[in-house]
Amino acid sequence: MPDYSTVSFEISDSQFEQAFLLAARSGVVHSTSEETFLGFGALPFDSADHGEDLATSRVLRLLGSLQSEDPLFAPRAHLAVPFFVTEPWLLIVPQIQILRRGSKIDAIIMQDSPVTPHQILEDFFQSLEDHPGGETEPPTVQRVTENPTSVDYGEQVKSALEHLTASEAQKVVLARSLQIELSEALDAGGVLVRMREREPSCSLYGFSISESTRMVGASPELLLSRKGSTISSNPLAGTVSLDDDTNPDHALTESEKDLEEHRLVVEAISNGMRGSTDSLAVPDTPSLVTLRSVAHLGTLITGELSDPHTETLIDLVRSIHPTPAIAGVPRAAALALISQLESFQRGFFGGAVGWINGSGDGELVLAIRGAILEANSVTISAGAGVVIGSSPEGERKETLAKLRSIIDAALPAMVSSLTK
């Protein structure tokens, strides 16, 4: 079993930025308004595990065996949960873990060698000089493939509305994707830096789906957080595009369709969390969450665990994921409709990504507003919640606004051409 050391390490802002770029390109990134976590390398465990077996995996047992006086700086595993939880999950323990909170930077070194932690870090930051330090120019677009086409997506929404009328389903989220072929590979580091600049209130994420595939994004939505006995979720549902100078407060807070869509999401997540809590705080009215190109209705739900010694983040996430914000309600009926109507595999789009430690604490955000990078192509996806009162044109415009927000960071020169 590897040992670990937690050390403070003096690095400059430029060195940290170099580390951020490298983590975005080939490591792990999880960055919020409170902290930035970067991970490099991985302990030699089997990184793929199925959801039902994950809680007893060797990786979590390893984390649980490592004690830390300060839980903020305990060793972490990086976790990626697919949209369909029955598909393989990804879990890695980075060998070098760098955590920045405010001006304080700490590093955790997972090692089984006699080399000192400081020497490992000195060698690591020395090696950064061999990597490109700045952003690269985005490549040119050669071809764009819609899946489904805009017209077919409208037909899918029509079919979903017919099912909502005739079945028990109250909401279903239908997604569409764009596959963009490029003249050369897109720099994941540059994409994540631009996302950080454009959406400073979002949580940045980056991880490897496989040896050749990266996913980076800026998620606006906290799926679940556990800190000791306190758990929280901040679902978003109800969306308006800001591209046409819309007043989001008026457009969302007075929209029966958006308020009903949001209510369904909050109710389902609250019910999922309530079974594990002694108390749960759910605001009566949603708040307005304004991003660069869209605005949402959001509700911060917080609760106190009945038994924080047994309910880990993974135990809790199973009770609410996938939420109605990304799937629908009731869950089983919505998932059946998604499988029937959608023409592409979601994979990790609409899943969750974040971290967990040996105490069961951690944080997961929805894996949305992101880009999947593979060879000379990039794939982006976006969904819209369909409820009674939705229209094919309205949902098409909503997905378009979300797709544009991603392309604005991934391929800025392409945004003006994305009009359909």
Element (H, E) at 160: helix 150-166
pLDDT at 55 over 50: no
Compute the average pLDDT of residues 277-289.
Answer: 94
pLDDT at 418 over 60: no
pLDDT for 56: 47
Reported confidence tier of residue 251, pLDDT bands at 50, 70, 90: confident
According to DSSP, the residues that pair with 38 across neighbouring strands are: 29, 98
pLDDT at 62 over 80: no
DSSP 413: G
How far apart (Å, rounded) are the C-alpha atoms in residues 186 and 188? 6
Percent of the chain exceeding pLDDT 90 equals 58
pLDDT for 201: 94
Reported confidence tier of residue 156, pLDDT bands at 50, 70, 90: very high
Nearest to 155 by CA among 325, 389, 403, 386: 386
CATH topology of domain 142-186+225-417: Anthranilate synthase (3.60.120)
pLDDT for 415: 65
Element (H, E) at 369: none
DSSP 16-82: HHHHHHHHHHHSEEEE-SS-EEEEES--SS--EEEGGGGGGSHHHHHHHH---SSGGGS-EEEEEE-
**Residues 273 and 212 sit within 8 Å (Cβ to Cβ):** no
Over residues 222-235, the pLDDT tens digits come to 999 999 999 999 99
Sequence-ordered alpha helix ranges (H) in 199-330:
248-253, 256-274, 313-318
**Domain boundaries, given as residue ranges, for the chain:** 142-186+225-417
Mean pLDDT, the chain, rounded, equals 88
**Residues 78 and 69 sit within 8 Å (Cβ to Cβ):** no
Reported confidence tier of residue 154, pLDDT bands at 50, 70, 90: very high
pLDDT at 259 over 90: yes
pLDDT for 250: 80
Over residues 316-331, the pLDDT tens digits come to 998 899 999 999 999 9
Over residues 120-153, the pLDDT tens digits come to 888 888 887 776 666 567 788 999 999 999 999 9
How far apart (Å, rounded) are the C-alpha atoms in residues 261 and 387? 7
How far apart (Å, rounded) are the C-alpha atoms in residues 245 and 271? 36
Is the alpha carbon torsion for 157, 159, 162, 166 positive or negative? Answer: negative
How far apart (Å, rounded) are the C-alpha atoms in residues 294 and 236? 12
How many CB atoms are closer than 10 A to CB 344?
14
At 161 the three-state DSSP class reads: helix
pLDDT: is 87 or 28 the higher one? 28
Phi and psi angles of residue 92, each rounded to the nearest 5 degrees, phi first: -130, 150
How far apart (Å, rounded) are the C-alpha atoms in residues 100 and 88? 30
How far apart (Å, rounded) are the C-alpha atoms in residues 89 and 351? 10
How far apart (Å, rounded) are the C-alpha atoms in residues 30 and 306? 28
pLDDT for 52: 46
pLDDT at 185 over 70: yes
Reported confidence tier of residue 46, pLDDT bands at 50, 70, 90: low
pLDDT at 8 over 70: yes
The total number of residues shown for the chain amounts to: 420
Highest mean pLDDT range out of 71-80, 296-305, 386-395? 296-305
**Residues 223 and 301 sit within 8 Å (Cβ to Cβ):** no
Over residues 27-39, the pLDDT tens digits come to 999 999 999 999 9
Reported confidence tier of residue 69, pLDDT bands at 50, 70, 90: low
**Residues 396 and 382 sit within 8 Å (Cβ to Cβ):** no
